[in-house]
């Protein structure tokens, strides 16, 4: 099959005007000028997308579809701790069926906004089998919390792996330093060599206060509900995370310094943290969620400094308990408002860089022979800068392909 468009943005060299992509099975086999491609592959079915630009599908590096139904339900709170209490109260009213509906609707919304791959943390891996099959590529991360029962870490990890191992792509997500024990982090690292790992780290000022100063609203709240606070005082969240990891220091197999962890947030870093990070060989992947960041009013995200250290920063939407939609286009625009960065570099954060964070740099995020045929198309005008136009796109997607199959972007999951 040949897919023709007015332009193809490959993220693998300059965009191709009047371009075409040849798809066979689930893969891209060729990319080039339509005139050349159609001569080479005569007789192939042609899908002509007309005056549209063809792009690699977007990759959401951090979200929680569990909470799609909480959109607009939790107003911004005075503190991060108040928000945790508010979401816990909202969650206590939800049934397993509510979560199933929430996740199914999340998939539909993500798809409508051009997302073809999603890294989704779920607190309920046992519900996955009851969901409508998602027609987008999903990394399921079991979100794990053992705050009140750290002796159960092994059991928790084994149970999650058992529930997820039949999925095509999965990983583990000890929730955060303030809810997951050291043992749980270690067990997640030991669970499997190739498993992706993600966690929330250094998200809020209150998390910094808790670990560094053994005080503040988060400290008091968690102490009140019975968490052992013995790990608080003296170390920043990042320092504590690095200490936990010292004993295992897991890398991706076959790589020298690429770290296995995709860290969500990293907003709150002390100067001493940057000194530590600069000394480290390991390079983390970081998921930044600009609109959720704005909702919470976190400290300015240290984008340039993290990039200068060599970290791979990509974009995620986070959940609708702290965001308005699951649109990565809106996320790119929100990022653009805060940073001096070209639209092309922003688009990389939702494609190439997010693919790298999921260890899919040779399969996703670009339109390139041998890569998965995950493609989207948006209308384009004649005169404007192509990447500026992409980042400015606000409508629903009109056409998409996942794994070489065209998918109706606005229909329910099939
Ligand atoms: Zn999150």
Give me the pLDDT at residue 360, please.
Answer: 95
Q: Is 400 helix (H, G, I), strand (E, B) or coil?
A: strand
pLDDT tens-digit map of 332-345: 999 999 888 999 99
pLDDT tens-digit map of 131-163: 998 889 999 999 999 998 888 999 999 999 999
In sequence order, which residues have a C-beta less than 8 Å from that of residue 126 and are 6 or more positions away?
Answer: 163
Strands 52-56 and 58-63: unpaired
- 64 C-alpha to center of ligand 1: Å? 6
- 191 C-alpha to center of ligand 1: Å? 22
- 163 C-alpha to center of ligand 1: Å? 21
pLDDT mean over 277-300: 92
Sorting pLDDT into bands at 50, 70 and 90, what band is 245?
A: confident
pLDDT mean over 239-247: 88
Quick check: 3 pLDDT over 60?
A: yes
- 383 C-alpha to center of ligand 1: Å? 38
Instruction: Tell which residue, 316, 296, 228, has the closest CA to residue 81.
Output: 296
Average per-residue pLDDT for the chain: 93
Give me the pLDDT at residue 128, please.
Answer: 95
- 235 C-alpha to center of ligand 1: Å? 23
Sorting pLDDT into bands at 50, 70 and 90, what band is 414?
A: very low
pLDDT tens-digit map of 365-402: 999 999 999 999 999 887 678 999 999 999 999 999 99
- 318 C-alpha to center of ligand 1: Å? 5
Give me the pLDDT at residue 413, please.
Answer: 46
pLDDT mean over 218-234: 96
Give me the pLDDT at residue 60, please.
Answer: 98
Strands 170-174 and 196-201: parallel
| Euclidean distance between CA atoms 115 and 385, whole angstroms | 22
Percent of the chain with pLDDT over 90: 86
DSSP string computed for 87-139: HHHHHTT--HHHHHHHHHHHHHHHHHTTEEEEEEEES-GGGGGGSPPPSSEEE
- 14 C-alpha to center of ligand 1: Å? 34
| Euclidean distance between CA atoms 30 and 221, whole angstroms | 56
- 288 C-alpha to center of ligand 1: Å? 10
Question: What is the CB neighbour count within 10 angstroms for residue 43?
Answer: 7
């Amino acid at each position: 099959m040949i897919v023709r468009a007015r332009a193809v943005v490959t993220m693998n060299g300059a965009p191709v005007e009047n371009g075409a992509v040849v798809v066979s099975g689930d893969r891209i086999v060729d990319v080039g000028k339509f005139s050349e491609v159609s001569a080479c592959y005569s007789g192939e079915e042609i899908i002509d997308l007309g005056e549209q630009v063809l792009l690699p599908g977007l990759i959401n590096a951090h979200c929680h579809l569990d909470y799609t139904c909480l959109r607009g339900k939790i107003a911004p709170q005075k503190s991060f701790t108040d928000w945790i209490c508010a979401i816990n109260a909202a969650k206590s009213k939800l049934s397993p069926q509510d979560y199933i509906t929430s996740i199914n609707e999340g998939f539909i919304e993500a798809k409508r906004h051009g997302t073809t791959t999603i890294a989704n943390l779920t607190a309920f891996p046992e519900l996955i089998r009851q969901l409508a099959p998602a027609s987008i590529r999903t990394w399921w991360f079991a979100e794990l919390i053992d705050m009140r029962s750290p002796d159960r870490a092994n059991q928790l990890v084994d149970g999650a792996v058992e529930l997820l191992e039949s999925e095509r792509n999965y990983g583990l997500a000890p929730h955060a330093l303030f809810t997951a024990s050291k043992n749980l982090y270690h067990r997640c690292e030991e669970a499997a060599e190739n498993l992706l790992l993600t966690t929330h780290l250094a998200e809020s000022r209150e998390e910094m206060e808790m670990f560094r100063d053994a005080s503040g609203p988060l400290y008091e709240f968690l102490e009140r509900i019975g968490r052992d606070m013995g790990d608080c005082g003296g170390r920043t969240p990042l320092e504590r995370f690095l200490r936990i990891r010292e004993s295992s220091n897991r890398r991706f197999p076959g790589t020298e310094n690429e770290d296995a962890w995709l860290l969500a947030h990293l907003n709150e870093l002390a100067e001493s943290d940057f000194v530590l990070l600069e000394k480290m060989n390991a390079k983390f992947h970081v998921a930044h969620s600009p609109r959720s960041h704005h909702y919470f009013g976190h400290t300015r995200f240290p984008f340039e400094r993290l990039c200068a250290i060599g970290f791979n920063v990509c974009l995620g939407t986070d959940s609708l308990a702290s965001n308005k939609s699951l649109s990565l286009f809106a996320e790119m625009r929100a990022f653009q408002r805060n940073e001096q960065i070209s639209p092309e570099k922003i688009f990389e954060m939702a494609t190439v860089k997010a693919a790298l964070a999921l260890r899919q740099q040779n399969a996703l995020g670009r339109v390139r022979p041998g890569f998965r045929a995950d493609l989207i198309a948006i209308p384009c005008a004649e005169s404007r800068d192509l990447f500026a136009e992409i980042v400015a796109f606000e409508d629903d997607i009109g056409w998409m392909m996942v794994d070489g199959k065209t998918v109706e972007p606005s229909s329910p999951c099939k």
